[in-house]
Amino acid sequence: MTNAEIAARLELVADLLEFQGANPFRIRAYRNGARAIHDLAEPVESVLADPERHLTDIQGIGKDLAQKVADLVETGRLAILDELLEEIPESVLAILRVPGLGPKKAAALFRELGIHTLDQLRVACETGQVRTLKGFAAKTEKAILENIDIASEADKRTYWAIADEIVQKLLAHFRECESVERIEAAGSYRRGKETVGDLDFLALADDATAVMDHFAAFPGIGKTLLRGDTKMSIRLEVGIQVDLRVVPAESFGAAMQYFTGSQAHNVVLRGMAKARGLKINEYGVFRGDEQIAGDDEAGVYAALDLPCFPPELREARREFDWAAAGGLPELIELKDLCGDLHCHSTWSDGMNTIEEMAAAAKALGHSYLAITDHSKRVAMAGGLDEDQLLRQWEEIDRINETLKGFRLLKGVEVDILEGGGLDLGDDVLAQGDWIVASVHYGQNQSRERITQRVVEALENPHVCALGHPTGRLLNRRKPYEIDMEAVFRAAADNGKLLELNAHPKRLDLDDLACASAKHYGVPVVISTDAHIIEGLSALRYGVLQARRGGLTKDDVANTRTWPQLKKMIGGKR
């Protein structure tokens, strides 16, 4: 069982407990445990298999929760979750995923109106029943109707990070089969899309039957959907569909190109082939009946005088224009990053101390890390007031005296207030190294108001970057209404940076916005927003998103050393 699967079950327990109105501390324990396990850099199974280690050694995992996790890994079942699902209809889970609704309001809908499906919820909103409940209003109905499709789609799309865990387990399983000569993942997963609908695998093997028999033995299969001579489709217990195709060696490259997609990219390729009197499909590139390419991807593209496009660029956006102009951008790589500029410690809602976060960042090869705990407006996260922040910065100065080859930056994630302005005074912000400004409240304000708030923050001389610029949570919350062109212009005019928040549930900026930032000449900062040391490894998800936006090393600010970056932001500070 993957860490993501374990974390998802713990998070579901927390949601269902909140739905029932359980003790807030009990709910928080499950949420903290889910976060700790999701961000853990190694499989929970490895910790459990080591007699010298204990799950309770992980920050955020207590004795009771550790036993539950161990039982879940061993049996595949979580007793408390089974009990909750006996008391609460499973269909209610979809309602819990409606952005902005939350477990408490979902519970009110269930108790007062008997609503436990999305269809019932839609009808109740359309007929004006929801607004009659205490704590609801006509605008609540409107918001639910606007967001209900997100809840429906959430059942169909899997975070790339979770899909990656599944892919790695499947690849390891396939490689244990002696008949498999080569096995690769294709599809939207290979293109690095932030969410994945299903998984596609291509195999080169001398015995297709043996490969499919081995596939059928993969732990966690819920149902076999199809099995033929060279193709097999299954649905895993976690809900995602996996398709396997066994292809001949002479067609492997063509199949990889075809099944990686995207569809729009492949349509352009087919048009280019047709214009040259060629035919291209999953079997190869053909001139009449003669196959002229197909055993490798580079050969497929070379047959059309094209470079072998990185999978992340294959969306029929600018890749063909770049190729025609003489070359593709040299996309950023994880090794290019020098540091992380957004993380939290135990001073606010983080789970590790500043020293622990620094040691973990240094171990990853970083040369700097900005500690950016919340400001006082985010009281529920233990946000810091001016005096607390200055005391923290004094502590960071003390710690820096003990560090060699690494620097902690005195930072803060300062709130952009609903009424305008920032949560902390300029006299305090001026003393920091790195100031991230973010919107956490007032996300339902008008497009004009939110845009004005953000632009004003970018005009503040002490702000360095805008954090998670659109506020979205994948599968959970849409971006707030904001004029991003105005934001890009304000950032460019004021020499400010935009964050690409690498948390796999955010990935905010999205790939198109990354491309727009490049167009406007606004540097992007790839940061993790880590709340635990294991969360610092999320930079790779941000890099993948940046590559989809066509960003190079030069387009990303934290590929620079701290002295270089300090000079870059110093002009407006």
Give yes or no for a contact between 128 and 136, defined as CB atoms under 8 angstroms apart: no
Which has the closest alpha carbon to 456: 419, 429, 499? 419
- Does position 100 have pLDDT exceeding 80, yes or no? no
pLDDT at 106 over 70: yes
Tokens of 278: 């060629």
pLDDT bin (cut points 50, 70, 90) of residue 460 is very high
Q: What is the mean pLDDT of residues 112-121?
A: 87
Report the pLDDT value the prediction gives residue 573, as an integer from 0 to 100: 61
The 8-class DSSP code of residue 120 comes to: H
pLDDT of 250 reads 97
pLDDT reading at 396 higher than 60: yes
With cut-offs at 50, 70 and 90, classify the pLDDT of residue 406. very high
Domains of the chain: 3-154 (1.10.150.110), 158-246 (3.30.460.10), 251-324 (3.30.210.10), 334-570 (3.20.20.140)
Contact between 478 and 154 under an 8 Å Cβ cutoff? The reply is no
Mean pLDDT value of segment 94-99: 78
Tens of pLDDT, residues 275-321: 999 999 999 999 999 999 999 999 999 999 999 999 999 999 999 99
For residue 267, is pLDDT > 80? yes
Would you place residue 223 in the very low, low, confident or very high pLDDT band (cuts 50, 70, 90)?
Answer: confident
Q: At CB < 8 A and 24+ separation, what contacts does 401-405 make?
A: 403/358, 403/362, 405/362, 405/367
Q: Check if the beta carbon of residue 373 is closer than 8 Å to that of residue 390.
A: no
- Residue 501, pLDDT > 90, answer yes
Q: Alpha-carbon torsion 210, 213, 217, 220, what sign?
A: positive
Out of 76-90, 238-252, 464-478, 544-558, which region has the weakest mean confidence (pLDDT)? Answer: 76-90
pLDDT band at 154 (very low <50, low <70, confident <90, very high): low
Structure tokens at 373: 């705990």
> Got the DSSP string for 365-428?
T-SEEEE--BBTT-GGGT-B-HHHHHHHHHHHHHHHTT-SS-EEEEEEEEEB-TTSSBSS-HHH
pLDDT, tens digit (0-9, with 9 covering 90-100), for 321-364: 999 998 899 999 999 999 999 999 999 999 999 999 999 999 99
Average pLDDT over residues 374-394: 95
- pLDDT bin (cut points 50, 70, 90) of residue 441 is very high
* CA–CA distance, 490 with 559 (Å, rounded to integer): 23
Lowest model confidence (mean pLDDT) among 105-109, 344-348, 349-353, 569-573: 569-573
Are 416 and 439 spatial neighbours (Cβ–Cβ below 8 Å)?
yes
Average pLDDT over residues 114-125: 88
**Cis peptide bond upstream of 251, omega within 30:** no
pLDDT of residue 572: 60
> Where do we find the tokens 């600018």?
318
Element (H, E) at 359: helix 354-363
Please enumerate in sequence order all residues whose Cβ is within 8 A of that of 235, keeping only pairs 6 or more positions apart, or say none.
Answer: 221, 222, 223, 225, 241, 242
Q: Which residues contact 348 (CB under 8 A, 6 or more apart)?
A: 373, 374, 378, 381, 382, 383, 384
Q: How confident is the model at residue 145 (pLDDT cuts 50, 70, 90)?
A: confident
pLDDT of 19 > 90? The answer is no
pLDDT at 138: 86
How far, in Å, CA of 44 to CA of 375, rounded? 33
- In a 10 Å sphere around its CB, with 0-12 CB exposed, 13-18 middle and 19+ buried, how is residue 268 labelled? middle
Mean predicted lDDT score pLDDT of the chain = 92
Tell which wins on pLDDT, 524 or 82: 524
Asked whether 30 and 11 are in contact (CB, 8 A), the reply is: yes
> Tell me, what's the pLDDT at 571?
65
Among 130, 146, 150, CA closest to 138? 130
- Contact of 529 with 342, CB cutoff 8 Å: yes
